[in-house]
Amino acid sequence: MNLSRRGASFFPLLFLLAFLVARAANASDPIHFTIPPGHFVTLNFHDVRKNVVPVADHDPYAISTQRLAKFFDWMKTHDWHPVSLGQIIAAHKGRKSLPPNAVLLSFDDGLESVYSKLFPLLQAFDYPALVAVETRWIEHVHGSSKHKTSRMEKAYIRGAPTTALKKELKRENKSPNIRKPGKVFYEGQELGGGSFLTWAQIRAMQRSGLVAIAVHTQNLHHGVLANPQGNKEPAAITRIYNPATRTYESNTLFRQRIRYDLKFSKHIITERTGRVPRAVVWPYGALTPEVTRIAHSVGLALSFGLGDRHISSVKHIGSLGRFLISEDPKPEAIEAQVRRALHPPKRVKRAVQVDMDDIYSPDPKQVNKNLGALLDRIKAMHINTVYLQAFADPDGDGTANALYFPNSYLPMRADLFNRVAWQLSTRAGVKIYAWLPLLAFKLPNAAQERALSVARRNKNGTITPVKTQVRRLSPFRPKAQHIIRGIYADLARNYSALHGVLIGDDATLHAHEGARACTPGARWPGPRQQSLNCPLQPRTKTNALIALDHAATGAMHPYLNSSNHFGVTRNLFARVVTHPMAEGRFAQALGPFLKNYGHVALMAMPYLDDTQQAPKAWLRQLVKDVAAKPQGLKKTVFELQTRNWARNRWIPASTLTGWMHELIGLGAVNLAYYPDDFLSNRPPFKPIFQAFSLNQFPHLQSEP
């Protein structure tokens, strides 16, 4: 493409810019809020076009040239200061501070509009930007138009360091984005070379000193097969499922694939531009600490995602969040988006706890039918959270007999968790918390389970396993700790998109339990060791279980999508709230739970508690006790029972909705309920929806 000819189209735009800059010099509107010193926000843009239809455009991430120019003008007026990648790195190293209200402008996908529409704006305002390019796309659209596989793509496969990786790259090289020679399928359209940057344009922008180029990967900007049912999930964080072998990509092969992709893309950019990129912008904002470490190992020190971690500190630049700009927003809308991150609105949680056992069937067709019923119900309910069972408990004894995801420790009843979680998240728009036990796992080796189980000391001094309905592993045996951490890590590897974990009500130690802590080889379950003075005091047991679940959920973190805010919620028996001395019976206490967890799922279940009070009076006392604790109402989810297990019958909808109204009237913020029989419409949808849904007009909602 002739760059001098392209320059002719810049002049009308520059006249507009001259007017905007002049007006900015006379503006006096004060900034509405400030970005904290030593921090910055990153704004994520994509295409820049003349004619964008707000809200209804075929590309929801495009922004119009006029809107972008107005936003650049707005930043100058309101004392926002775009900064370069180099400035952020310098600030991180302590060489120079960032200016106030620092903003990094980033543009993804290497579209041609970055040169023809954005670049003149950057020049007019003297603003720097970060541009992320997908090297395979650029090489493909500007390479041979006769062949789908360019020389570069052949070299990509040929250069793989292992035979296993070569085979996988050949199998996975059929990206859904590249379906025709010289074209990339992008936002519903087949785009050719005229829609993407050329290397000459990239070099010209780099020479200006205003544009830095980031890796957007070589071949990770698409979904890969993530489960046997056929769902596609981001290639950068997903262990690929191979239907031919019915196996998943190994950890070693996964890491090889990511490392090689980044190295190759970095090499292409360096070779074509003469400059070494220092950052990677992960497609779809999908990154984990695991892949961030891989990127750092190949010289890509900064990793950019998306999501909740919007306000970035120069002290921690290894993994950074960004604001995704969509729907052609006005400057004030972008400002409001940033403000909400700095000053979040009150968050209200509405959660349903769902039994995967009710979805499971040996017949795949029945599984799909059951899942469809659940999706329809959850979507119609307009809630924001599902606590999804990740373990199998078909006999209902509270012990995990098997798991619903691939793992190295227990049998897998069915490979269902990834499928159900992905469908709920993408179709019903809810956040998925995996519901798992902490201790209640039935190990395949019965002798090993007995050796690792919770035990009691008998009067004669001997130690024997505790015989209860719920079989639990001891939190004080190193091997049990290893198994529990491994189960949690395997879940995160299988489904990186989790928003959290609900730790079940099995995590208790009764007054006579905990004898394993007093035997040789016992170990405190957390990373910071402390002495085990026997017999253990109730608060010591409480803290031990908290330390164990911190270790278990900590084992998940390397594999979780960093663009999601990950939270840990733990079930709490109501008796320890209304009668704090009951901590000795449960090894649970409200105060430590509020301090250590994002939320506490308080089992506000009067019939389960077996209280002698009337249910509403009991609930009133429960709310009063919670409200007396700092952040008590904010962090407590009042989880109601929909079934009276003692009488083996469902609680009337009028009773349940009455409890909900009572709790909300008393100041409760977050509500949940369990169980939900989505196959038989119990509890009944309509009355429950009207009391429970987050929909602004619940009375107008029809049943699913």
- Please spell the DSSP secondary structure of 221-250, one letter per residue: SSEEE-STT--EEETTT-PPEETTTTEEPP
CATH class as words, domain 354-700: alpha beta
- Mean pLDDT, residues 542-570: 97
Q: Which residues contact 8 (CB under 8 A, 6 or more apart)?
A: none
CB-count exposure of residue 58 (10 Å: 0-12, 13-18, 19+):
exposed
The Cα 402–Cα 412 span in angstroms is: 5
CA 509 to chain centre: 31
For strand 223-225 and strand 232-234, is the pairing parallel, antiparallel, or unpaired? Answer: antiparallel
pLDDT on residue 156: 84
Tens of pLDDT along 242-288? Answer: 999 999 999 999 999 999 999 999 999 999 999 999 999 999 999 99
CB 128 within 8 A of CB 211: yes
- Mean pLDDT, residues 61-72: 97
Element at 257 (helix H, strand E): helix 251-273
Selection from 559, 658, 564 nearest residue 615 by Cα: 658
Three-point CA angle 690, 696, 697, nearest 5°: 55
Instruction: Tell me the domain boundaries of the chain.
Output: 41-342, 354-700
Tokens of residue 674, six digits: 């369990």
Tokens of residue 126, six digits: 């003297």
Under the banding of pLDDT at 50, 70 and 90, the label for residue 150 is: low
User: In 10 A of CB 665, how many CB atoms?
Assistant: 10
The Cα 176–Cα 250 span in angstroms is: 23
Q: Is 491 helix (H, G, I), strand (E, B) or coil?
A: helix
pLDDT on residue 307: 79
> Higher confidence at residue 291 or residue 703?
291
Selection from 699, 614, 700, 626 nearest residue 658 by Cα: 614
pLDDT on residue 30: 44
Q: Is 513 helix (H, G, I), strand (E, B) or coil?
A: coil
pLDDT on residue 526: 84
Q: Indicate whether 11 pLDDT > 60.
A: no
pLDDT on residue 484: 99
Tens of pLDDT along 349-400? Answer: 999 999 999 999 999 999 999 999 999 999 999 999 999 999 999 999 999 9
The Cα 560–Cα 264 span in angstroms is: 25
Q: Is 601 helix (H, G, I), strand (E, B) or coil?
A: strand
User: In 10 A of CB 33, how many CB atoms?
Assistant: 11
Q: Indicate whether 23 pLDDT > 90.
A: no
CB 261 within 8 A of CB 229: no
User: In 10 A of CB 531, how many CB atoms?
Assistant: 7
The Cα 668–Cα 623 span in angstroms is: 7
**Amino acid of residue 290:** E
**Amino acid of residue 248:** Y
Q: Indicate whether 206 pLDDT > 50.
A: yes
Q: Tell me the torsion sign for CA atoms 274, 108, 253, 550.
A: positive
pLDDT on residue 669: 96
CB 12 within 8 A of CB 26: no
User: In 10 A of CB 136, how many CB atoms?
Assistant: 27
Query: What proportion of the chain, given as a percentage, has pLDDT over 90?
Result: 81
Tens of pLDDT along 671-681? Answer: 999 999 999 99
Q: Indicate whether 28 pLDDT > 70.
A: no
CB 285 within 8 A of CB 307: yes
Q: Indicate whether 19 pLDDT > 80.
A: no
Under the banding of pLDDT at 50, 70 and 90, the label for residue 17 is: very low
CA 260 to chain centre: 25
The Cα 690–Cα 657 span in angstroms is: 8
Tell me yes or no: is domain 41-342 CATH 3.20.20.370: yes
- Mean pLDDT, residues 12-29: 43
Tens of pLDDT along 356-368? Answer: 999 999 999 999 9
CB 433 within 8 A of CB 569: yes
Q: Indicate whether 59 pLDDT > 70.
A: yes
Q: Indicate whether 56 pLDDT > 90.
A: no
**How far are the Cα atoms of 366, 370, 623, 704 from residue 373, in angstroms, in the given order?**
11, 5, 34, 9
Tokens of residue 435, six digits: 């519901």
DSSP 406: -
Q: Which residues contact 93 (CB under 8 A, 6 or more apart)?
A: none
Q: Indicate whether 663 pLDDT > 70.
A: yes
pLDDT on residue 537: 94
* Residue at token pair 């309509």: 686
Selection from 692, 702, 686 nearest residue 658 by Cα: 692
pLDDT on residue 3: 38
- Mean pLDDT, residues 300-304: 98
Largest CA distance in the chain: 95
Under the banding of pLDDT at 50, 70 and 90, the label for residue 702 is: low
